[in-house]
Structure 1
Amino acid sequence: MSKQGKDFSKYFDFTGARVLKEEEGKTTYRINGRDITVNAAPNYKEEKRRGKEAIQVHYETATPPELMELGKGKLYHITTYGCQMNEHDTEVMKGMFEQMGYAPTEDRNEADVILLNTCAIRENAEDKVFGELGHLKHLKIEKPGLILGVCGCMSQEESVVSRIMQKHSFVDLIFGTHNIHRLPYLLQDALFSKEMVVEVWSKEGDIIENLPKKREGMRGWVNIMYGCDKFCTYCIVPYTRGKERSRRPEDVIAEVRELARQGFKEITLLGQNVNAYGKDFEDLNYRFGDLMADMAKIDIPRIRFTTSHPRDFDDHLIEVLATRGNLVEHIHLPVQSGSTEVLKRMSRKYTREMFLELVAKIKRAIPDAILTTDIIVGFPGETDEQFEETLSLVQEVGFSSAYTFIYSPRVGTPAADMEDNIPEAVKKARLARLNRIIEDLSRESNEAEVGRTVEILVEGVSKNNANVLSGRTRTNKLVHIEGPVEWIGQFIEAKVTEAKSWYLKAEPVLEYRMEEAVS
């Protein structure tokens, strides 16, 4: 797993920069009075390539013995933006920090290392990070020994790294999504060189097993694959996360079995497109449906997955999910648009009719399945008629909730070169209409639960009321219930008494009330 790239100057606008030294694939620049060592830099052209080189699997520890006490007596803080994959990456980095002797802190003012684990999916996500860097600059001035780092998907973008190097030179460390496992070495370099250290691999790395993870609570994320090969025209993920690489099934199964042994109540299998799992295996005919069938044999009460691409959601997977057991009845199925023409411009590789046929198959096999989705409004060229097609599809499917967004152009994607000919006011009006319909559908779906007894995994105290607990049903509906804090982490049978737009209210069934009275 060698460092990648040497001629960094062609990637960035290094106005006013000068080269101090070049050695062993590294280049050290002086920019705005700060020395910056670039080990490897992001490059869109490299990120677009899908080489045929074999992905190797490495079973190694992330932290060498000589760095096990690097953080002794020191504190770390990680702020995470974006999707569940980023949350999982943060769990890995927390594990590595604590292998090095660091302890966590929620107070940034106390931290010796602060990392921003970033998201690049939308422009406002990037704006938040740069705004946060502005706040952290003052902390860095007050505490010069603080190590401040930016990692995650934003770090895979040329323009972002260039901007940080030139305008936020107080940052000490930049690394990407492919070389997270090198955090101990990069942190050591940043600590002892006193220079900004930049290492962002454009070509994806191999699969690294046995990395430490710090999980909290009763729910666990398990990565089953990395990257995406779909190249939807609006999406930056294939560039920031690389090509599809599936973990070996025996490694995934072993990790989930260990989580079962540790007492985890719910596992979510993660991938940019979990339905593509196993397509890259050359020696094994084993796909996502086979993996889910094996998950059903493990003694964990609930197994979820996210996220799905409709194009790869095959009949075998539906057949396996219909067996239920610990495989829950909630499926997140991003549609993005209800117009075949828009879907074509998005390069989604399915039509409106194909999506509706898939939904019909799922509902025939799992009649009580709850479907949620992602939708983009205001995609370049979207007409009023095409937007109406989205509204009609949403109502026909009856999604119980949706993540909805106004289209946000991402530099380097094909859609960014399309004419964005829809006024912002029109986009906002469309989003508002869509959200009203989603809210109505959500309330309707929730009202159907009133009077039913549901199983709730109690996750914690409600954010809005210290006397109320909150949890999730098998179908991922949020439920508020009154009860003792000892119920947190337990499954509770409760009767739904009231439906709101975005959550349910419930009361524990008689047996739980009696148990509480006895105790």
Structure 2
Amino acid sequence: MENLVTNLDILDKNSEEACETVKTTPDQNTGKGRKLYIESYGCQMNFSDSEIVASILHNEGFDTTSEIEKADLIFLNTCSIREKAEQTVRHRLMHIHGLKKHKPELLVGVLGCMAERLKSKFLEEEKIVDLVAGPDAYRDLPKLIGQVDEGQKAINTFLSRDETYADISPVRLNSNGVTAFVSIMRGCDNMCTFCVVPFTRGRERSRNPQSIVAEAQDLFDKGFKEVTLLGQNVDSYKWSPEENNKMWLEKKGISNTVTFAMLLEMVAQISPSLRVRFSTSHPKDITDDVLYTIAKYENICKYVHLPIQSGSSRILEMMNRGYTREWYLGKIQRIKEILGDDCGISSDMIIGFCTETEEEHQETLSLMDIVQFDFAYMFYYSERPGTLAEKKYKDDIDLPTKTRRLDEVIKKQRAHALQSNLKDVGKVYTVLIEGFSKRSTNDLQGRTTTNKVIVFPKGNHEKGEYVDVFVKECTGGTLIGEVVNKAVNN
């Protein structure tokens, strides 16, 4: 999976910890009879899916709770991208087992990629699990819960070729009321050899653009100021009009297939005050049309997450990435030509893939020196059951070598991140205030258009405002500044 949720603090710890990022449900008290508690692990798509689950079950008589002890139904929305992510879920189930001893009627379910990968085996291995549902089976949850209420175990891990949940209005969980995710597609067709996503999330299918624009418009009408368009590979978004959508598209001057560049423009046109981000791009698919669309609209953030995975063309071929080192560097150059040197660029890197030599590791380090990523999401290779790499290649790089190479990559990225932030000192950025800083309620924080976190004194400003912030200093992970005036696009 390309779009792992993490930050520089997590990157400084361990190659696998980003997969342990977890969000839980907030309290929702409407007087409904049963309480739902969801923990979401892994990527942004999982967090978005949990909002869909909450919406479906809210309509079936469930409120949400932030306290696991008060729950009548506990769901773990899981990640299978790395072994440690699955271990985390298993350890969590041990804790939940203790809760169920004191509350036998408690219903426990496992959702998401881990559920899809293990299927009925999960019910056999984890005795306290009552329900297993894959990413395309969430509409079936009321029926599955009914089966459990009748004393049965319940499972649905069917992968759909057309499910996009386009008609479901997500319940925004852990929302700051300012930023939100909007899923534009599901699944992946790329078949990278290291990746389990095509097997846990199914084939690629794009969501109706009219529903995407309507969801983004609704968020803006409710006071949200930023949306992030989500997909495993947003650049391959492609939707052909159905009869009932042709009139809507014709009004927008579109008569045939909607591409990601077109969709991006539609969302940007909702309002200049609505910021637009997206994740994740694939080097072989991102087009000049997308880059020119970003350049055209000030409210589309100047930031591209473009995973390289390895700096070696031989390793990239083994990974089935569909591009070479030279192709990737050419794409980086194109981004800078169209969007300028100030465009934020981040990447994913997998260290110690099968047969990787020391020379090929050095190729990754040298590519980092050329590109100078602002951020990077770095992991050592973890073989996943059922992937093409597990079937075709031997995981022959020992753990001490993987760890040492990863440490070298992390140290280099820390240096590059600091240098990147130092270049921003003395500049002024328009920042959308997302809330208090993590360390003090006297300070607020937001992100620049290039996706860098910036912290500044609260003053009289509030969450949801746009402010112009002068960068005074920085650390390796954060810009530090002060408001110089209130931006005009509030």
State whether TM-score is above 0.5: yes
- Between the aligned partners of 2:97 and 2:162, the Cα distance in structure 1 is 32
Instruction: Give the Å deviation of 1:209.
Output: 2.5
- Pick the aligned partner of 1:210 from 167, 182, 186: 167
- Pick the aligned partner of 1:322 from 295, 317, 321: 295
- Pick the aligned partner of 1:131 from 73, 85, 91: 91
Structure 1 residue aligned with 2:53:
93
- Pick the aligned partner of 1:103 from 60, 63, 83: 63
Structure 1 residue aligned with 2:8:
none
Structure 1 residue aligned with 2:308:
335
Unaligned 5+ segments in structure 2 are: 1-29, 243-254
Question: Which letter maps to 2:263?
Answer: L
Question: Which letter maps to 1:287?
Answer: T
Instruction: Give the Å deviation of 1:419.
Output: 1.2
- Between the aligned partners of 1:200 and 1:94, the Cα distance in structure 2 is 19
| 1:350-429 mapped onto 2 (5 Å cutoff) | 350-367=323-340, 368-417=342-391, 418-429=393-404
- Between the aligned partners of 1:334 and 1:271, the Cα distance in structure 2 is 14
Distance 1:121 1:71, change over 3 A: farther
| 1:100-499 mapped onto 2 (5 Å cutoff) | 100-158=60-118, 161-162=120-121, 164-191=122-149, 193-215=150-172, 216=175, 217-278=177-238, 284-299=256-271, 300-367=273-340, 368-417=342-391, 418-484=393-459, 487-499=462-474
- Between the aligned partners of 1:505 and 1:452, the Cα distance in structure 2 is 11
- Between the aligned residues of both structures, percent identity stands at 38
Distance 1:319 1:501, change over 3 A: same
**Residues 234 and 409 of structure 1 are in contact (CA less than 8 Å); yes or no, is this contact kept in structure 2?**
yes
Instruction: Give the Å deviation of 1:486.
Output: 5.4
TM-score by length of 1: 0.82
- Between the aligned partners of 2:404 and 2:31, the Cα distance in structure 1 is 51
Structure 2 residue aligned with 1:52:
none
Question: Which letter maps to 1:469?
Answer: L
**Residues 461 and 485 of structure 1 are in contact (CA less than 8 Å); yes or no, is this contact kept in structure 2?**
no
Question: Which letter maps to 2:134?
Answer: G
- Between the aligned partners of 2:485 and 2:167, the Cα distance in structure 1 is 45
Structure 2 residue aligned with 1:11:
none
Q: CA RMSD in A?
A: 2.0
Question: Which letter maps to 1:76?
Answer: L
**Residues 71 and 101 of structure 1 are in contact (CA less than 8 Å); yes or no, is this contact kept in structure 2?**
no
CA displacement 1:452-473 (0-9 Å, x = unmatched): 1112222122222232222211
- Between the aligned partners of 2:45 and 2:240, the Cα distance in structure 1 is 20
- Between the aligned partners of 1:187 and 1:275, the Cα distance in structure 2 is 37
Instruction: Give the Å deviation of 1:168.
Output: 1.5
**Residues 71 and 102 of structure 1 are in contact (CA less than 8 Å); yes or no, is this contact kept in structure 2?**
no
**Residues 275 and 299 of structure 2 are in contact (CA less than 8 Å); yes or no, is this contact kept in structure 1?**
yes
CA displacement 1:198-229 (0-9 Å, x = unmatched): 11114545333321311222111111111110
Instruction: Give the Å deviation of 1:484.
Output: 5.0
CA displacement 1:157-206 (0-9 Å, x = unmatched): 13x641x2223122111100011122222222222x12221111145453
| 1:37-48 mapped onto 2 (5 Å cutoff) | none
Distance 1:391 1:82, change over 3 A: same
Large movers: runs of 4+ above 6 Å? 279-283
Which deviates more from structure 2 when the two are superposed, residues 195-204 or residues 79-88?
Answer: 195-204
- Between the aligned partners of 1:203 and 1:226, the Cα distance in structure 2 is 10
- Between the aligned partners of 1:173 and 1:200, the Cα distance in structure 2 is 11
- Between the aligned partners of 2:90 and 2:120, the Cα distance in structure 1 is 12
- Between the aligned partners of 1:462 and 1:414, the Cα distance in structure 2 is 42
- Between the aligned partners of 2:232 and 2:289, the Cα distance in structure 1 is 20
- Between the aligned partners of 2:165 and 2:473, the Cα distance in structure 1 is 47
Which deviates more from structure 2 when the two are superposed, residues 357-366 or residues 177-186?
Answer: 177-186
- Between the aligned partners of 1:125 and 1:135, the Cα distance in structure 2 is 16
Structure 2 residue aligned with 1:81:
41
Instruction: Give the Å deviation of 1:261.
Output: 1.8
- Between the aligned partners of 1:208 and 1:254, the Cα distance in structure 2 is 14
- Between the aligned partners of 1:453 and 1:207, the Cα distance in structure 2 is 40
**Residues 52 and 168 of structure 2 are in contact (CA less than 8 Å); yes or no, is this contact kept in structure 1?**
yes
**Residues 450 and 496 of structure 1 are in contact (CA less than 8 Å); yes or no, is this contact kept in structure 2?**
yes
**Residues 71 and 100 of structure 1 are in contact (CA less than 8 Å); yes or no, is this contact kept in structure 2?**
no
- Between the aligned partners of 2:372 and 2:305, the Cα distance in structure 1 is 13
Structure 2 residue aligned with 1:40:
none
- SS of the equivalent of 1:209 reads coil
- Between the aligned partners of 2:82 and 2:334, the Cα distance in structure 1 is 32
TM-score by length of 2: 0.86
Unaligned 5+ segments in structure 1 are: 1-69, 513-519
Instruction: Give the Å deviation of 1:409.
Output: 0.7
**Residues 480 and 506 of structure 1 are in contact (CA less than 8 Å); yes or no, is this contact kept in structure 2?**
yes
**Residues 244 and 280 of structure 1 are in contact (CA less than 8 Å); yes or no, is this contact kept in structure 2?**
no
